Amino acid sequence: MTYTVKEIFKTLQGEGTLVGRPAVFCRFAGCNLWSGREQDRTKAVCQFCDTDFVGGTKHQGRELAEAIVDTWGPDRERRLVVLTGGEPMLQVDGGLIDDLHGRGFFIAIETNGTLPVPREIDWICYSPKANAKRRVSRFDELKLPFPQQRAMPDQFEHLHDRLLLQPIDGPDLGKNTEAAIAYCLAHPKWRLSLQTHKFVGIR
């Protein structure tokens, strides 16, 4: 298997339930809801993505797991890798999952949920997008970018008991954050999720 990866880096998880944990992020190239090119944004299913996932380098087979190990370092304690994108399930397969587990990693994934996710993944963060059909059947947290006019929280709150509302970044971040706070206060099933890595100036 050949994987195309935009970047691999070690940082602290900045979002969601695992916030604050050291992790290696492996960002895969490509997405099935947007090409990643600005000229296509207005016609994309997901129009608010703030991530560069275009291009990248090729990794053959176990080379990718070794690159992730090298990025983490020699310490085997509480190894965490976050597979993200783009949409990582366009590329993640059983071989990579086995290679990472064999090297002692707890595997988390951040997915738009439009593709099935293997049960062997340890932590699944499902991030719904409007007009995108859900195919993921099991997940550990639901992190909803907010607001989305055609993907409001009440459409999803029956799916899980770990519900996170994350303000969409961009020029309206302040307004979106105020709206998310107000929604969480009025609907206690939901917790506010902030992109803390951006506040403290890390990746």
- Global pTM? 0.96
How many CB atoms neighbour CB 195 within 10 A? 15
CB half-sphere exposure, 155, CA atoms < 13 A: 16
Burial of 171 (0-12, 13-18, 19+ CB in 10 A): exposed
- SS3 of residue 145 by DSSP: strand
- For residue 123, the cross-strand partners are 108
pLDDT of res. 50: 86
Look at the chain and report how many structural domains it folds into.
Answer: 1
Q: Which CATH number is 29's domain given?
A: 3.20.20.70
Q: What is the pLDDT along the chain (203 residues), one digit of tens a residue?
A: 899 999 999 999 999 999 999 999 999 999 999 999 999 999 999 999 989 999 999 999 999 999 999 999 999 999 999 999 999 999 999 999 999 999 999 999 999 999 999 999 999 999 999 999 999 999 999 999 999 999 999 999 999 999 999 999 999 999 999 999 999 999 999 999 999 999 999 99
Catalytic positions are: 25, 31, 46, 49-51, 110, 197
Angle at 14 between CA 106 and CA 35, to 5 degrees: 90
Q: Containing domain of residue 159, as a range?
A: 2-200
- Please name every residue paired with 60 in a beta bridge, in sequence order, or none if there are none: 2
Residues 44 and 30: their CA atoms lie apart, in Å, by 13
